[in-house]
Amino acid sequence: MYYANMNTIFTCIRKRKGAGNVSKKNNISSILLATSLFFTSCGGEDNPVNTSVDIPEESKFENPISIEAVDGLSDEFIFGCDMSTLIAEENSGVVYYNEAGQVQDPLKTLANNGVNMIRVRVWNDPFDENENGYGGGNCDTENAIAIGKRVTEYKMNMFIDYHYSDFWTDPAKQMCPKEWDGMSIEEKSDALYEFTKESLGKILVAGIDVSMVQIGNEITCGMAGETEWEDITMLLNSGSKAIRELAEQYHKDIKIVIHFTNPEKIGTYAEYAKTLDAYDVDYDVFATSYYSYWHGTLENLKSVLSDIIKDYDKKVMVAETAYAYTYKDGDGHKNSVSYGAWGEFNYEVSVQGQADAVRDCVATLASLGDNAIGICYWEPAWIPVPDNTYMTRSEMWEKYGSGWASSYSSDYDPEDAGRYYGGSAWDNQALFDFEGHPLPSIEMFKMMAGTICSSK
């Protein structure tokens, strides 16, 4: 997932001169008060959605969903979910429930509903010099281990997503980790190998059942600060080498994933795959993000992934997808998807529309045969931090990293995260409602697999 320049998310804030230009850490209460005022003026606690337009009436959350099983799915098809912010959410007071209204680990709820893999991103060092977290889950190796132990307990597989940055990477931004700044490409390549070997080694030693590892995140524009393909592919092969060595050492079958985005841009995926092949990059899975409102048609997705399979005999998957079930905003931090937002919204914004969007994506992959191995729903549990005021939620985002970015991120990413930090921009695309109860759409994985029928 990416927050490319945050243009859509924070348009109203940018209209205020100087909004968010705060980097002092010794007066957090002032920062939070200022932030609260900015968000209130743009639709904060008392006005969490854009009331300048008429938001369509939405389906009741308790309504059941109805989707057909997808023909041609193998028993090994991956129904994954990215749960990177889970620990930060729980530390901030978020409580999750099962369908009966009982408190339950959301990982167990997902497993009970047919999810068989959990993806977690890993940043190198998402903390400032005083160990204050940048936010977005403060996703370091220890966070992955904490989540991974629970994933393994519920008999799901683990998918590690290395960004090779200290914070978010996306099609517009691939920042070098602080520790690697100023290194030559040879030095950086060695550092990436050592980091991967150390981090993944710790995860495997902890007994976590890792089945896939991703080298870089949405590396459309580069990786770890590098933009030339000769250098990028050197880094990719350093990561692959570390993973292959650990897989052999621990007798694991670990698939290596390379992840791009923007499949709608004609010819780009063919060029990426050709480049990887030309530089003999060692990998197993060519992965893409696919958000239907941003990334073109499913017909195009099928075409570009089909070419990867046919020309290079690689596995393919959708490493990130999601859809909104409501236009509402649960925490006063404007959402990536809101009424009137940029994109093509060809499905109803409801729990049924959410399930339909994912089901159609899975059916498209299934039509490609056994080389299409699965999907991963992005951040289905990143819901609002519970509290009555934006100010108190902000304190939790700052303290535990449960918002998309904290003010501390200004040290590393001053032009984006350091200016527009705040809460979750994804709460209306989760599979749990704003209070932590599973939505009916959480059953879609079992329905697609044919293990349960429609709940209507």
Q: What is the full DSSP assignment across 174-232?
A: -PPPGGGTT--HHHHHHHHHHHHHHHHHHHHHTT--EEEEEESSSGGG-BTTB-SHHHH
Q: Report the run of H or E that residue 377 belongs to, with start and end.
A: strand 372-378
Residue 172 lies in a domain: yes
Q: Identity (one letter) of the amino acid at 31?
A: I
Which of 428, 450, 449 is closest to 439 using CA atoms?
A: 428
Residue 57 lies in a domain: no
Annotated catalytic residue, options 153, 194, 198, 218: 218
- Residue 320 is a catalytic residue: yes
Q: Is 164 strand, coil or helix?
A: coil
- Which pLDDT belongs to residue 331? 95
Q: What is the CATH number of the domain that holds 226?
A: 3.20.20.80
- Which pLDDT belongs to residue 432? 98
Q: What's the number of domains the chain is made of?
A: 1
- Which pLDDT belongs to residue 112? 98
- Residue 398 is a catalytic residue: no
Residue span of the structural domain in which 292 resides: 4-52+67-449
Which of 280, 291, 350 is closest to 320 using CA atoms?
A: 291
Residue 116 lies in a domain: yes
pTM, two decimals, is 0.89
- Which pLDDT belongs to residue 6? 37
- Which pLDDT belongs to residue 387? 83
134: Cα separation from own chain's centroid: 16
- Which pLDDT belongs to residue 38? 33
Residue 454 lies in a domain: no
Residue 59 lies in a domain: no
Alpha-carbon distance of 188 to 200, in angstroms, equals 18
Instruction: Provide the H-helix boundaries in 42-169.
Output: 86-91, 106-112, 141-153
Tokens of 199: 């981090």
Residue 39 lies in a domain: yes
Q: Kind of pairing, strands 315-321 and 157-162?
A: unpaired
Tokens of 336: 């990536």
Q: Strands (DSSP E) along 19-156, which ranges?
A: 78-82, 117-122
Cα angle 333, 337, 341; round to 5:
110
Tokens of 352: 């049924």
Alpha-carbon distance of 296 to 114, in angstroms, equals 28
- Which pLDDT belongs to residue 200? 98
Residue 294 lies in a domain: yes
Q: Identity (one letter) of the amino acid at 355?
A: A
- Which pLDDT belongs to residue 62? 59
Which residues does residue 257 pair with via DSSP β-bridges, in sequence order? Answer: 214, 285
Residue with tokens 């704003």: 434
Residue 192 lies in a domain: yes
Measured distance between the N- and C-terminal CA atoms of the chain, rounded to whole angstroms: 32
pLDDT in single tens digits along all 456 residues of the chain: 644 333 333 323 222 222 233 333 333 333 333 333 333 323 333 323 332 334 445 544 557 899 999 999 999 999 999 999 999 999 999 999 999 999 999 999 999 999 999 999 999 999 999 999 999 999 999 999 999 999 999 999 999 999 999 999 999 999 999 999 999 999 999 999 999 999 999 999 999 999 999 999 999 999 999 999 999 999 999 999 999 999 999 999 999 999 999 999 999 999 999 999 999 999 999 999 999 999 999 999 999 999 999 999 999 999 999 999 999 999 999 999 999 888 999 999 999 999 999 999 999 999 999 999 999 999 999 999 998 799 999 999 999 999 999 999 999 999 999 999 999 999 999 999 999 999 999 999 999 999 877 654
- Which pLDDT belongs to residue 54? 41
Tokens of 290: 């696919």
Annotated catalytic residue, options 89, 226, 320, 443: 320
Alpha-carbon distance of 236 to 222, in angstroms, equals 11
Buried b (16+ CB within 10 A) or exposed e, 68-85: ebbeebeeebbbbbbbbb
